[in-house]
Amino acid sequence: MTTVSTTDTLIRVLPGETLLEALERTGHDVEYQCRGGYCGSCRLTLVEGEVVYTQEPLAFVGPNEVVPCCCVVKTPIKVECSLRQVETSADDKSQLALDL
């Protein structure tokens, strides 16, 4: 098991989990379409560390980029990816203000 540092937090990757699965499981906002490395819509900037592709992506992968749908984390890595923003309703905001 290894770790991924994102813009917002540090997460652990479970055995057998792709980087995309780990990011989804922990509430990160990652766009994706094919889940097979064909389209590249899940492409992220890899700041540091190393991944290994379970299948070589057909999508273009530039320097310092990673296609998380078809890779596993080899060493602790850092990627540019944020937690999903949760919309709050007016009622939720009112309740939050009351709780303060």
Mean pLDDT of 51-76: 96
3-state secondary structure the chain: CEEEECCCCEEEECCCCCHHHHHHHCCECCCCCCCCCCCCCCCEEEEECCEEECCCCCCCCCCCEECHHHEEECCCEEECCCECCCCCCHHHHHHHHHHC
pTM of the model: 0.83
For the chain, list the domains and their CATH numbers.
2-99 (3.10.20.30)
For the stretch 1-39, pLDDT in tens is: 799 999 999 999 999 999 999 999 999 999 999 999 999
The C-alpha atoms of residue 13 and residue 67 are separated, in whole angstroms, by: 16
